[in-house]
Structure 1
Amino acid sequence: MGKKLSDLVNQKLSRLFIGFSKLFLGASRNKPNQEEKKDLGYYKNEAFHKLAILFITIGLFPICYGAYMFFRKNNIIAGVLELLSYLVVLILLLSSRINIMKKRCVFVLSIFLLGLMLLFIAGPMGAGLVVIFSTFGLAAFLLNKRQSIIFIYISLLAFIVISVFLYIGLLDNLAIYQYRDSWYIVAISTQCMGTLFVLIINNLFNNIENLIEEIEKSVKTTAESERSKSVLISNLPGMAYRCNYTRDWTMQFVSDGCIKLTGYPPESLIENRDISFNSLMTPECRGPLWREWERILAKRLPFEYEYEITTASGERKWVLELGEGVYDIHGEVEALEGIILDISDRKKSQEETKRLLERTHSMINNHDAVMLLVEPETGEIIEANPSASSFYGYSKEELLKMTVRDINAMDQEKAAEMRLKALNGGQKYSAVPHHLKSGEIKTVDAYISPIDYDDQRVLFAIIFDVTEREIIAKKNEFLANHDYLTGLYNRRFFDEEFERRVIRGDVPIALLLGNIDGFKNFNDAFGRSKGDEVLKEMANRLAALIFDGGVLARVGGDEFAILVSGKNEDEIRRCLDTLTREFDKDLGDSRKDELLTISWGYGIQMNEDDTLDDLHRQAEAFMNNRKFYNTNSLRSKTVNVIMETLFMKSEREKKHSERVGKLCETIARKMSLSKPEVDKIRVAGLLHDIGKIGIEESILNKVGKLDAKEWEMMKFHPAKGASILAKTIEYNDIAEIVLSHHERYDGKGYPNGLTGTEIPIMARIVAISDAYDAMTELRTYRTPFSKEEAIAELKRCSGTQFDPEIVLVFINVVMGMEKTD
């Protein structure tokens, strides 16, 4: 029964202790930090927690006992104060609003008060003095230096107060009174020993903390150094290594940069597990590298060498090895340490720089431009490229003994001034005359810029021969006021001349405006090159006929103008008639020239405010009236001349056109067409190939078949012929026949893909006549068809290429011709 009761009490007390422990730890620590630094302060806190829990649990019993003793002696106030003191301390220790350092102070003071209480009850020779002395130890362990000093002062004050109370008799009823005579010795010795103990322990802890701080700083410095080394090594454009001094360079350590540099992980190279570093070197580098290490180690110098390696992927890389030997106590090489850096990009850059220098050297020496380096003050030539020797006619050695004064033909003072301006970033370009060795003077463009050359500031001159350009510039100056084709004045000069005459008051001012009749048709028929020839010829004839004071200009494509001053309207009309008569009389025998006449008009400045545009409108109106009467007959004449020109180009075309015209006439009569229609179809047959005038003679008279390109050119002739005829009155109505004579009855012809009766009936007649004549006549690339063969071919193509009804009529016509023959 007694054992069970004892176990129950122990169980309850154990739970009470655990509960207070959790309560105190929760109040004092709040949320424990798992990563809290475990320094001296940490262990002080841990000790304090445990001592505080013991005080809360076990200290309750002596507190209650002391209160009980006070109550027995009727000192109720002291007993109540003791209990209240315990409760206050308990509350403070369990409070979550007070930090751990303040709780330590409260705890130490509480123990000290407990010792004082025991001192009063049991006397200085009992438990009270032990507790007080222990308090000094707690203060030394739990409080910092400043708090310990404060505690010493508090304890000293307490002993002084107790001594005073004993002296005046206020503590006569307590146990301490029994030891009054020896109290002062006990108090002084306790205070001195306690103070000494606190100071010694504090000094010890300070030394320990300083040592810990130094150790932590050293560890931190070491860790930082290691981290920096790790970062440095990991960010190297290569790898760090330690290896044996052997031919295989057996690696003991390789950094992680190995994989990026070589393509192999570090462990593959360590102890040559998968491959030796020597195997990575290109064969031609292995021997020189070993010999360089031998030389360096013999002199104990730092190692630096560039060579090539081959990576796991087969890529070749340039590397720079920086290292040194590691020696043992006997001075023997123990290992090699260093770094191997990837310098492939740098090597590429160096190679590129080398190539750039070679290209620059090549560019300067092989360039056609003259290049000179000149000393700016003296003008001495200090360098010259081969083009300079070639241009000036001097050898390089001769040029390097000369100054720019020897080749510059301009004023020397001005030349020196220009050099100084160029040196200071001023004038960088100039066009100057230069002497050649032959004595010839050339105009050159000199582009000059200051550069640094062999630690001195010199002028770099790039020189171009622009003599031809100057000649062209003079030509351009001429062309600025003259027509490029005819050499006459142009519109710009003509307008400016009118303004000059107005300013001078050369009135009245008359404008004679001439326009070539039918020039566009001429160009369409004979081509622009022929048209340009005629324009130049007409300009020359007009220039020869121009009267004194007149200014002749070409002001448009086919338009000429003459500016005259000081003549009235009657005089202008006489000038105009004379010009027209003399120009027509001057025509040559060429049929092409006979096609081209000039219609003239004029305008006179009646008022000072009349502009050149006003005169131009007057002249144009007059000219258009005269042009109307010439245009129709001229266009008709143009057609005749074009046909004659075509027949002159190809005799075969002439005979072919005549035969086709006759065949068309015969078919039309057989089909009972009217006489106007018969005449019309005969002319259409004769003119059906007029569009071939724009085709080269070499194609028209080609021996053999036309190629694809030539055939495409030939297919344009129906449209071109129709365009020529449509601009005339006499032949306007046959333009459509000519346009459609290569259309097919099934719609596969050209140029418009017409079918059946969409094709004009006369065009269908011309198509059959044209085809028959082409088949039965001799060609250079084939023998002619017989009439029977040609008729058979027409029958075969009847309904596809040709109109079947007209084919039947044509066959009867041919048969009739056979009977006549």
Structure 2
Amino acid sequence: MDEMFFESIVKNSPMAYAYHKIILNEAGTPCDYVFLDVNSAFEEMSGMKRENMIGKKVTEAMPNIQGDSFDWIKVYGKVALDGGMEEYERYSEVLDRWYRVYVYSPELYYFVVNFIDISKERKQVEERDQLMEILRERDLEFHFIIENLPFCLGMVQLDGTFLYINPSGQALYELEEATYYGQSVIPYWEESKEWIHFVEAVKVTGLIRDYEMNLKMPSGKVFWAIGIGMLFQYQGKVCILLAQYDITQRRQAEKALMESEEKFRSIFEYASECILIVQNSKIQINNPMFSNLLGYSKEELFDKPFLDLVHEEDRPKAKKVYYERLSGEEPEKKPQYRVVCKDGSIVWVEVNGVWAKWLDKPAIEYFLVDITEQKKVEDALRASEEKLRMIMGFSSDVTWIYNFDQLKLTYVSPSIFHFLGYHPEELMEMNPVELVPNEFRLKTKQILIQNIKEFMAHPEESNTYTIELQNIHMDGKRIWTEMSSKNRYNDKMEVEIVSSSRNIEERKYAQQEVLYLSYHDQLTGLYNRRYYEEELRRMDTKNNLPITMILADVNGLKLTNDAFGHMIGDLLLKRTVEIFHQNSRCGDIIARIGGDEFVFLLSRTSKEEAEEMISRMKTAMAKEKVENGILSVSFGSATKTMADQDIYYIFSEAENAMYQQKLKESISMRNQTIQIITDTLFHDNQEEETHNRRVSELCKELAIAMELGEDIIHHVTVAGFYHDIGKIGLDKHIISKMEPMTEEEWIQFRRHPEKGYQILKSSAEFAQAAQYVLSHHERMDGEGYPQGISGEDIPLPARILSVADAYDTMRNPRGYHKKWSQEDAVRELIKNAGTQFDEAVVRVFVDMVLRQSLEGVK
């Protein structure tokens, strides 16, 4: 399973994902954190754009977060520093939403946040509580509802004896209808004392919500349930009205998420939805949720035709949608199908599919949600209009009933006030056409009439249909709405349209964002390779001749990233793009086709015009002053002048010209960048500069004394001067701090030889010295770093550099180190000769460089 697959899951998962780094103040206390990565669900649930978050502190992206009653920074900081995982449900005043949050730390100072928006769930709990109150007062009136509830509802005496339990409860407890009365609920609890605690809690408060319990059935099935208990008078007895929901899957998913060390794999393996990849119409991989749903093992599902699992009546529709998605079309959003389990039972699922690549070949990535219970609820609601109205009254969506024969609204749910600003009574006096903008009226009318005709011809068939349109708010604002409708006959045999309208503003915005990102580079805003390839095919016509292509490559970007970090490299790229725009024409196509490569597509443009454009850009870049870097770009161009010329050959010609230019410019540019890196390091710490100069001189004297030849003498002298250039990547306080380093700081410090090697090897002039810089902290006994090599495996010039560096550090200490006398420093070198230092190098250094014989040191 490749990483791109898991990244695709994270990107398309409905669970929000964000990756952060914690920021500490001088006291070491978390004071802020930085956004490093987010997925689309995070943008949707937070209401914020990705470009307004990535690379920014949370106090910049969300200035009001510190006024929130819950200290998010403190909680996240604790996980980032201490490790482990935390899970909680919290309300954010800043975003005005409830979230269930999972936070864990993959490494020190970093943490991952997964969360889901449970605002609707919280509201549903409130609606459920209100429904329970109504049921207690009007038991007989809602008996039908109770009998058809999708969750367990029972009446139990305080001693645990069942007086009543509804069919869902009988199924839950594996009871037969005729045998449940008088049985005790207590044996079903894993711990019988928990029943006593539950009863006491209900007796104290009269009503207890969200009580989690562990139950075990006669069949051996063990699961978790969440219960509501309420004291109630039933058949003249004081008892408990008990409602229970099976939350086993949720508990399992939570446990899996907490224990998982691989964030991408955990999302796949323990997602609440079913996830599978279908390629060539066959299942290539699926998560356990899908296996559990259908009762097949993972091995049985592998290479099984996906459409074979779909109910035969839904199979043509599923097949059509599959091939539409595969061809890149946009089929029906989230279609609903029946699928057949291994045991022959039927499950309803809602399907969200996206085009993806699996092993570099086209495939469809499916996210399936079990909506069987939802379908059962829909069937139950259809039997009673009054019950439908009661439930819809608490929904955030708007329910409408329009009498087509009388041409008027007969019902509007109370949520219309929050939806469009009208009270139900006001709207029922209006013509609903007034709520639809002119440009949507004709199409909406045609769809409604066509579906009514089909319904009247075949009233027994399902006729649910969906329309996306805009509605006009009372204040004049337009709102994107998804209206799901179904036709029916009322008791007077009049045709009614029953509709549910949902606000889809965020979805529409997200779709526009996805469309933009599919053709644009996120960092620079330029077109991406996909757009470039499509535009190239479109542009390659005779009418656009001459067509000129300019290839541009940013010089030294990797070196800048290695030295100063990717944020500085990104700033360099953005400034480069600004100059591209300032010196090109409005209709020119500019695309980023690689990390540091760009292409210009110029229709009806001669070679001379392109060269003038390149000249303007080079002139602008030469004047540009960029902190911690040099703005340098190599250009190459080629022109298609005849229709029979291959446009891809023109690209190759431009690329060759660009690479020839790059060979001329890159060496000088890399050397200049290395000089900038050195100047930056020494500017911040004068002691480092003087230390490096002294070490360079000592290396030179020692190499001359050992008669190593001019070439080696030169390279070891250069290595001495640049041996600490890798410290450019360290936090500045580590270099200059006056107390011993912490373990974390020491780990970071030990990386500077590798960092210096990466920087210096980029230039041929410093490539040999880079090898010596890499090894100057190795030891003869193999206990050094970063490679842990020993003895003769360490290059001799690196052993020279090691002795010179150690001697100067003892004689001219920096930071918290003490100063050694020359005699003590020599003693220390001799003491560690053969273990830390090369014994021969130490002897030459002491005898010939320091002009002091070994015998003079006692």
TM-score (norm 2): 0.48
- The 8 Å contact of residues 511 and 563 in structure 1, kept in 2 or not, is answered as yes
Instruction: Tell me how far 1:761 sits from its aligned partner.
Output: 1.7
Q: What CA deviation, in whole Å up to 9, does each residue of 1:479-503 have, x standing for no partner?
A: 4544433333444444444444443
Note the C-alpha offset of 1:433.
1.6
| 1:722 counterpart = 2:757 | yes
Displacement of 1:722 after TM fit? 1.9
Aligned with residue 617 of structure 1, among 626, 634, 652: 652
Cα displacement (A) at 1:767: 1.9
Q: Is the 8 A contact 2:465 2:486 kept in 1?
A: yes
**Does residue 472 of structure 2 align to residue 446 of structure 1?**
no
Please state if 1:510 is matched with 2:548.
Answer: yes
- From 747, 750, 753, give the equivalent of 2:782: 747
Q: Distance in 2 between matches of 1:748 and 1:381?
A: 85
More strand by share: 2
**Structure 1: how far apart are the matches of 2:561 and 2:688?**
21
Describe the SS at the equivalent of 2:558: helix
Contact 1:743 1:755 in 2 (8 A): yes
Gap change, CA 1:619 and 1:368, over 3 Å in 2: farther
Counterpart AA for 1:754: I
Q: Tell me which amino acid in the other structure corresponds to 1:488.
A: L
1:512/1:399 CA distance change after superposition, 3 Å: same
**Structure 1 residue 521: deviation in Å?**
2.8
Following superposition of structure 1 onto structure 2, how do residues 281-292 of structure 1 map, counting pairs within 5 Å?
none
- 1:470: how far off? 3.0
For residues 438 and 351 of structure 1, the distance between their equivalents in structure 2, rounded to whole angstroms, comes to 46
- Work out whether residues 778 and 784 of structure 1, in 8 Å CA contact, stay in contact via their aligned partners in 2: yes
Please state whether the residue corresponding to 1:601 is helix, strand or coil: strand
Structure 2 residue matching 1:731: 3-state secondary structure: helix
- Aligned partners of 1:463 and 1:720: how far apart in 2? 58
* Cα distance in 2, alignment partners of residues 678 and 628 from structure 1: 28
Change (3 A) 1:665 1:545: same
Shift of residue 747, structure 1, vs aligned partner: 0.8
Instruction: Tell me what 1:83 maps to.
Output: none
Distance 2:835 2:394 in 1: 68
Which residue of 2 is the match for residue 556 of structure 1? 594
- How do 1:482-493 residues align onto structure 2 when only pairs under 5 Å count? 482-493=520-531
SS in 2 for 1:730: helix
> Match of 2:626?
590
528-537 or 429-438: bigger deviation = 429-438
Instruction: Give 2:285's aligned residue.
Output: none
TM-superposition CA deviations, 1:411-454 (whole Å, max 9, x none)? 56755665677785445333222333443222233344579999
Superposed, which structure 2 residues align to 1:630-649 within 5 Å? 630-649=665-684
CA 1:283–1:555 in structure 2 vs 1: closer, same or farther (change >3 Å)? closer
Deviation of 1:628 after TM superposition, in Å, equals 2.2
Q: Is the 8 A contact 1:282 1:309 kept in 2?
A: no
Shift of 1:704: 4.2
- Contact 2:548/2:601 (8 A) holds in 1: yes
* Cα distance per residue 1:588-629 (max 9 Å; x no partner): 2336553x4222222222431222201011112222223222
Identity of paired residues, percent?
A: 29
Match of 1:534 in 2: 572
Map of 1:374 onto structure 2: 401
Native 8 Å contact 1:602 1:623 kept in 2: yes
Larger deviation, residues 535-544 vs 457-466: 457-466
CA contact (8 A) 2:696 2:721 kept: yes
Given candidates 549, 554, 557, the residue that maps to 1:519 is 557
Distance in 1 separating the partners of 2:490 and 2:743: 64
Correspondences of 1:785-804 after superposition (within 5 Å)? 790-804=825-839
Contact (CA 8 Å) 2:584, 2:613: kept in 1 or not?
Answer: no
Change (3 A) 1:309 1:740: closer
1:275-325 Cα distance to aligned partner (Å, 9 max, x none):
xxxxxx977989x99xxxxxxxxxxxxx99954659999979x9xxxxxxx
Between the aligned partners of 2:545 and 2:809, the Cα distance in structure 1 is 67
AA aligned opposite 1:443: W
- Do the aligned residues in 1 keep the contact of 2:463 with 2:487 (CA within 8 Å)? no
1:428 aligns with 2:457: no
How far apart, CA to CA, are the structure 1 residues paired with 2:513 and 2:159?
A: 69
The partner residue of 1:712 within 729, 736, 747 is: 747
Residue matched to 2:66: none
Task: Go from structure 1 to structure 2 and tell me whether the alpha carbon gap of 1:735 and 1:285 turns closer, same or farther (over 3 Å shift).
Answer: closer
- Given that 1:432 and 1:445 are in contact with CA atoms closer than 8 Å, whether structure 2 keeps it comes out as yes
Distance 1:305 1:568, change over 3 A: closer
Of the structure 1 ranges 448-457 and 653-662, higher mean CA displacement relative to structure 2 is found in 448-457
Q: Displacement of 1:776 after TM fit?
A: 5.0
Alignment of 1:737-776 (within 5 A): 737-775=772-810
Quickly say closer, same or farther: Cα 1:770–1:403, change in 2 above 3 A: farther
Task: Report the Cα offset of residue 718 of structure 1.
Answer: 1.9
Q: Is 1:466 matched up with 2:504?
A: yes
Q: For the structure 1 residues 414 and 731, does the alpha-carbon distance in structure 2 shift closer, same or farther, using more than 3 Å as the test?
A: closer
Corresponding residue of 2:459: none
Contact persistence 1:373–1:458 (CA under 8 A): no
What residue identity is the alignment partner of 2:566?
A: R
Structure with greater Cα Rg: 1
Hey, what does 2:719 align to over in structure 1?
684
Partner residue, 2:210:
none
Task: Give the whole-Å Cα distance in 2 for the aligned partners of 1:711 and 1:383.
Answer: 68
For 2:625, give the aligned amino acid.
Answer: D
Task: Call closer, same or farther: CA 1:624–1:454 in 2, change over 3 Å.
Answer: same
Specify the SS of the correspondent of 1:757.
helix
SS in 1 for 2:551: strand
User: After the TM superposition, which residues 278-427 of structure 1 pair with which residues of structure 2 at under 5 Å, given as runs?
Assistant: 306-307=181-182, 369-372=396-399, 374-375=401-402, 377=404, 380=409, 382=411, 384=413, 389-393=417-421, 407-409=435-437, 415=444, 424=455, 425-426=462-463
Give the CA deviation at 1:801. 1.9
C-alpha deviation, 1:391, in angstroms: 4.3
The answer to whether the Cα contact below 8 Å between 2:777 and 2:784 also exists between their aligned partners in 1 is yes
CA contact 2:551–2:654 (8 Å) conserved in 1: yes
Secondary structure of 1:505's aligned partner: helix
Q: How does 1:133-212 map to 2 (within 5 A)?
A: none
Alignment of 1:563-602 (within 5 A): 563-566=601-604, 569=607, 571-572=608-609, 574-575=611-612, 578-579=615-616, 581-585=618-622, 587-590=623-626, 592-594=628-630, 596-602=631-637
> How many Å separate the matches in 2 of 1:372 and 1:801?
81
Report what 2:169 is aligned to: none
Unaligned runs of 5+ in 2: 1-156, 165-177, 196-217, 229-239, 247-372, 378-386, 456-461
C-alpha deviation, 1:684, in angstroms:
0.6
Aligned length: 494
Answer whether contact 1:444 1:464 (CA < 8 A) is retained: yes
Change (3 A) 1:668 1:612: same
> Which amino acid letter does the alignment assign opposite residue 717 of structure 1?
H
Match of 2:581 among 536, 543, 554: 543
Query: Quick check: 2:562–2:758 contact (8 Å CA) kept in 1?
Result: no
| Alpha-carbon spacing, 1:471–1:651, altered in 2? closer, same or farther (3 Å) | farther
Match of 1:36 in 2: none
* Contact kept in structure 2, 1:430 and 1:446, CA below 8 Å: yes
CA distance in structure 2 between the partners assigned to 1:773 and 1:727 by the alignment? 28
Question: Equivalents in 2 of 1:365, 1:567: separation in Å?
Answer: 63
Unaligned runs of 5+ in 1: 1-280, 290-302, 319-341
